[in-house]
Amino acid sequence: MDRDAAAARQEIALLLRRLNVELDAVGQRFAELHGLNRTDVRALVAIMDAARRGEALTAGRLGEAVDLRSASVTALVDRLEKVGHVRRVRDPEDRRRVGLELSDSAMAAGAEHFGGLARDLSAAMEDYTEEELALVRRWLEDMTGVIMRHSRGAP
């Protein structure tokens, strides 16, 4: 087996890790720009993702999304509510539940920051043919599958 090919694959793996670092830094930058911490940003993203999917997150489900216990979720939502990024909305169906709604300003800030990145990524991909992108997509799915076996299940 070619050593060159193996080295090339290792380089690609390193490149992927580098991309990972930079992608995390995008969230970090959003946090700094808006006086938030990493958890706050992850929470806002989770709420935005749910909103884009048409569902409003409850406090509990947000906790699952960002892996926090209920006490921390209460503190988290307190922080986000205090700066006006989210509203608590009691669910009339089940009055124990607390729904979370993003404010327009938070929605706009998120769209500006992360939507801008998505737009630029999409634009950069215009240089690729449909077949090339299909290959990239298959590769991404393959790598994600491998990574998930390490991030969740057995070694």
Q: Which is nearer to DNA, 48 or 73 (CB)?
A: 73
Q: Which residue among 17, 18, 88, 138 contacts DNA (CB under 7 A)?
A: 88
Residue 55: closest CA among 63, 44, 47: 47
**3-class DSSP state of 16:** helix
Residues 106-145 that bind a second copy (CB under 8 A): 112-113, 116-118, 120-122, 124-128, 130, 132-133, 135-137, 139-145
Q: Which one of a second copy, DNA, none interacts with residue 35, CB within 5 to 8 A by kind? A: none
CA distance 102 to 84: 9
Residue whose token pair is 């608590």: 88
Cα 43–chain centre separation: 9
Residue 67 interacting with DNA (CB under 7 A) = yes
Q: Which residue among 14, 23, 75, 143 contacts DNA (CB under 7 A)?
A: 75
